[in-house]
Structure 1
Amino acid sequence: MKAFIFDMDGVIIDSEPLHFDVDMETMEHLGFKVTQDDLEKYVGMTNPAMWRLIRVEYGMEQTVEEIISYQLRRKIEELRARDFAPIAGVLSLLAELKQRNLPIALASSSPRIFIEEVLSKFDITDYFASIVSGEEVPSGKPAPDVYLEAARQLGVLPADCVVLEDSRNGVIAAKEAGMRCIGYINIHSGDQDLSRADWIVKAIKDIPLSQL
């Protein structure tokens, strides 16, 4: 391992409940009723990709841009209002990776403004040598683009990177990028198939750094 790449939602911050809540609220605001089960298949995808699919499925009149404008404003409001802390073990993992002089990147499907809000809230921005949003590459997860761009920015071959993910779409993206992947079982991320991951852990502290 020559670099470590984090997903963010469900890995650094336990934000999937926020996303589910606001996405369901957004649908209700627009006149549609959905459940968390309806939304779990979109975990790990970018907002534009998710809403393009939902808009077609439900025959929504609003544009993707109009939907995201409401949704993102509400998500940032909720992020600032709720009492979030980093997921248990994340700060220790970041510190150990830094101690080992391993470059660290973040590759998230969230828009950059949300990423920056999270990292600023936890005061951990300086740990990351590269930050890439899935909205800044041609295709979001499960395509590998966001992970390949993170590796490029770090100057490391994809095969030398290890990724930490909590979603099916994210694991697929990491493996399609040619990287090794740790699947973190986060019960708040819904029913996620992490079977393609090289390792699966139930706690961040269980990540086998010595084997990487």
Structure 2
Amino acid sequence: MFTAFIFDMDGVIIDSEPLHFKVDKYVMNTLGFDISTAELEQYVGMTNPEMWTRLKEKYAIGASVEEIINLQVQTKLTLLKESDEQPIEGIVALLELLKQKNKRIGLASSSPRSFIEAVLDKFNVKSYFHSIISGEEVEHGKPAPDIYLKSAEMLETQAGACIVLEDSRNGIKAAKAAGMKCIGYINENSGHQDLSQADCIVENIKEINIELLESLL
């Protein structure tokens, strides 16, 4: 029986990958470079420091990683505040179901803490979560298992009793490396993600019910 459910955030709770792609292209353009959505797709699920370290090296960008991230995050926060974004359909109902079943609920996102907090506050769902952690708060971001292992520790449960909801190849690899069951969510806006390592795959969050969850463990 599972005791805890851990959500990724981007592309799972909020359909934010289009926003991320838009801002990342803007940042690269500001720095004097062009980058395609296809290239950015390979970084979905990674932390900002890891992504920008790789891009800085590849494109020989002069600005520091810290400077790049500051521009990126501030731009995203401004656009999020101005947007009419709503939670992905089915997410609030799933949170309520897990609450009713007395399951521990965690959030493990590669986004910076400031963006996580802004999203949860905007959607008024922060109270559902027993633990919240950013990939920048562990030594190694996704696809390493660190964030999920830490999340299980914060939820005071065993990794093997956790189910994860992810929309990216890197996120699923992290969950499986942590010894957790993982549901892959097909979000077309997250790009062409390989979800084949997931224990099951859904096209709609509404497909996730208690019978499906209990069948995984």
Which residue of 2 is the match for residue 5 of structure 1? 6
Q: Distance in 2 between matches of 1:54 and 1:118?
A: 26
Alignment of 1:1-212 (within 5 A): 1-211=2-212, 212=214
- Residue 193 of structure 2 aligns with an amino acid whose one-letter code is Q
Q: Which amino acid aligns with 1:66?
A: E
- Post-superposition Cα deviations, 1:179-210, rounded to whole Å, max 9, x if no partner, equal 00000000000000000000100000112431
What is the one-letter code of the residue matched to 1:61?
A: G
For residue 39 of structure 2, give the secondary structure of its aligned residue in structure 1.
helix
Query: Aligned pair count?
Result: 212
TM-score where L is the length of structure 2 = 0.97
Distance 1:191 1:34 in 2: 17
- Indicate the RMSD between aligned Cα atoms, in angstroms: 0.6
Amino acid at match of 1:94: L
Residue 42 of structure 1 aligns to a residue whose secondary structure is coil
The percentage of aligned residue pairs carrying the same residue is 58
- With normalisation by structure 1, the TM-score equals 0.99
CA distance in 1, matches of 2:165, 2:209: 12
> After TM superposition, which residue ranges in structure 1, 4 or more long, deviate above 4 angstroms?
none
3-state DSSP of counterpart to 2:85: coil
User: Which letter maps to 2:37?
Assistant: Q
Find the aligned partners of 1:174 and 1:38 in 2 and give their Cα distance.
23
One-letter amino acid matched to 1:2: T
Separation in 2, partners of 1:86, 1:209: 20
**Distance in 2 of aligned mates of 1:70 and 1:145:** 27
Long gaps (5+) in structure 2: none
* Distance across 2 between alignment mates of 1:6 and 1:149: 13
Q: Helix, strand or coil for the counterpart of 2:24?
A: helix
